[in-house]
Structure 1
Amino acid sequence: MANPNPTPRKPGEGEPWRPSIYLPREVGEAIRAATEGMSTQERSRALGRWLMLGWETERQFEQVMKKQ
């Protein structure tokens, strides 16, 4: 959930506020277990692949459901 009260900033002051994504504890634990021993770069690539795989799976599921 994003911070409902972000710190106000003046134009040109620092980076714009971006919401954070909070995952359930179980998800964080699963990610840590699955990426244990990986370098930061390997972990980043793996998480990107898993994210795209999940997105593609959801997209295909929605297409199948529309046909029914």
Structure 2
Amino acid sequence: GPMVMNKQNKEEMKKVLQRIQDGTFNKEWLSEYEKNGKNAFNKYMKQLDSHQIEQIGKQMRKMMWPDSTE
């Protein structure tokens, strides 16, 4: 609702979408990948994996699907 998705959030999301649509995000992503290779991507994925929301998500999935291997 409005508490989570306020005017400021919408404006930031529009800026991000514009960067995707005009190719800026892609150019920056490719430049970073060319400069640092797969290591940059792996570092980014490790940062995401260690984020609190991901840790909680893993715990919740274990509770919902205890026989599944993640």
Shorter-chain TM-score: which interval? 0.3 to 0.5
The higher relative CO (CA closer than 8 Å, separation ≥ 6) is in 1
TM norm structure 2: 0.32
TM norm structure 1: 0.32
Q: Which has the higher helix share?
A: 2
